[in-house]
Amino acid sequence: MNEPVRVGVVGLGTVGSGVVRLLVDSADHITRHAGRKIVVERAVCRDVEKDRGLPLAADRISSDIHDISRDPSISVAVLLVGGLEPARSMMIDLLEHGKDVVTANKALLAEHGPELFELARRKGRSIAFEPAVAGGIPIVAAISECLAANRIESIRGILNGTSNFILSTMEEDAADYAETLARAQAEGYAEADPAMDVDGTDATQKLAILAHLAFGVWVPWGDIPRTGIEEIDLDLIRFAGELGYRIRLIAVARRADDRLAMRVAPALVKIGTPLAETHGAYNAVSIIGDAVGRMFFHGLGAGQMPTASAVVADIIDTVVGRTAITFRTTGVLDADSPAARIGPADIEERSFLRFRVADKPGVLAQITGILGEHGISIASVIQHDAADAAESGVPLVIMTHACQSQAVQRAVAAIDAAGVTRGKSTCLSVLDDWTPAK
């Protein structure tokens, strides 16, 4: 049997603790796959006094990254500290000292990926990051290795478990947004500060990484149009349901001539299709490749053990040398990757519009008139009777036929400006094209 591989774990929070447990509890199984034992030599966290109940002697835990980076017996370091700093400095220190790194930190990669990967290449080291994108779903390996023969045409996915938990629970429990967010926090599905999950930042950072892998371009995540779920209310979910749809936070990247059409926004997906049937904290990714056709991946995108599953798989890949080969041959997160040209913003699609209007004659005609002036034709209208009336107005819901998305935005702005609506109107895309790939 080969010498054991010694691993350093930086961060002993949710994921780090899961990784230590998995490496210890499944040691025999992991040894079989790696061809040698993988042992946790050291771990680093902030609070060394805290009892984490881990199968790791107290003298193996410290608060100094140098205890891992400068230990020559450690060849692989697992970076499970979130945020940009000190995570970035820690990654640089580990690479500078010759460690191969595995990380789950998507914010760090989306922000500083090319710089860090360039350093790793210079040092002859690798960075593995499967857990950073969709937790337990092996989407990085799928795109960069298993689907390598394909020209990827599009990626469409639910990449944030917190927002999916909120949207699906609102529908299932007929609960409003604030109540459901509080429940998600109480049950551990949302952070105390959920901003980056519900405003779409987290999904956008993941989409930027996926788009890089799939299309070979570097996408600054801040350039991707993004709308969160904070303004989705129960009425919208109910009206979408009446029309046969569910609302999900969908990340999309697809080829459009020489550009990438990308966005993260709540959208309507047809009930019965895989994205609509993705409930709770699950993630899902649909990919179309020119040779393979449409593929669908579904699983837990976060959580202690699903994420640890991906971290440990990356450690094994690093130990057996697979990561280094992929890293060398695919140019992943290469600083020389061309910048993505994002757009066109104008997409031909159906739209779901919700207006709140005064309950009086002529309003519907005025709204449909403005839509007509912008070349938008209507597929269906829902207007419940005045029993639904509230201070905020009567809801009027319109599903359009496929038309240019920018024309719809202009029409909705014109309707709001015409003074017939109360408050800001809502416009969501309808993602209809779930047809078997040719």
37 is an active site residue: no
User: Which residue's Cβ has the minimum distance to ligand NAP?
Assistant: 13
Between 97 and 106, CB nearer to ligand NAP:
106
Between 14 and 163, CB nearer to ligand NAP:
14
Between 120 and 132, CB nearer to ligand NAP:
132
Tell me the closest approach of the beta carbon of residue 307 to ligand NAP, in angstroms.
4
For 60-63, the CB contacts below 8 A with 24+ separation are 61/12
Say whether 357 sits in a helix, a strand or coil.
Answer: strand
Buried b (16+ CB within 10 A) or exposed e, 279-294: bebbbbbbbbbeeeeb
Between 47 and 193, CB nearer to ligand NAP:
47
Q: Are 351 and 410 in contact (CB under 8 A)?
A: no
CB-CB neighbours of 49 under 10 Å: 7
Between 100 and 171, CB nearer to ligand NAP:
100
| Residue type present at position 83 | G
Strand 245-256 to 259-270 pairing: antiparallel
Between 9 and 415, CB nearer to ligand NAP:
9
Which residues are CB-neighbours of 40 under 8 A, at least 6 positions away?
Answer: 7, 8, 9, 20, 23, 24, 56, 60
Tell me the closest approach of the beta carbon of residue 270 to ligand NAP, in angstroms.
29
Tell me the closest approach of the beta carbon of residue 56 to ligand NAP, in angstroms.
13
Tell me the closest approach of the beta carbon of residue 132 to ligand NAP, in angstroms.
6
Tell me the closest approach of the beta carbon of residue 300 to ligand NAP, in angstroms.
9
Residues that bind ligand NAP (CB under 6 A): 11-16, 44-47, 50, 63, 80-82, 86, 104-106, 131, 135, 302-303, 307
Buried b (16+ CB within 10 A) or exposed e, 345-378: eebebbbbbbbbbeeeeebeeebbebbeebebee
Of 7, 19, 98, give the one whose Cα is nearest residue 60. 7
Say whether 274 sits in a helix, a strand or coil.
Answer: coil
Between 161 and 393, CB nearer to ligand NAP:
161
Q: Which of 37, 99, 106, 206 is catalytic?
A: 206
Strand 38-44 to 5-10 pairing: parallel
- For residue 396, how far is the Cα from the chain centroid? 32
Tell me the closest approach of the beta carbon of residue 40 to ligand NAP, in angstroms.
14
Of 141, 131, 93, give the one whose Cα is nearest residue 109. 131
Q: Are 99 and 128 in contact (CB under 8 A)?
A: no
Residue 105 buriedness (CB in 10 A; 0-12 / 13-18 / 19+): buried
Tell me the closest approach of the beta carbon of residue 266 to ligand NAP, in angstroms.
22
Q: Could you list the active site residues?
A: 206
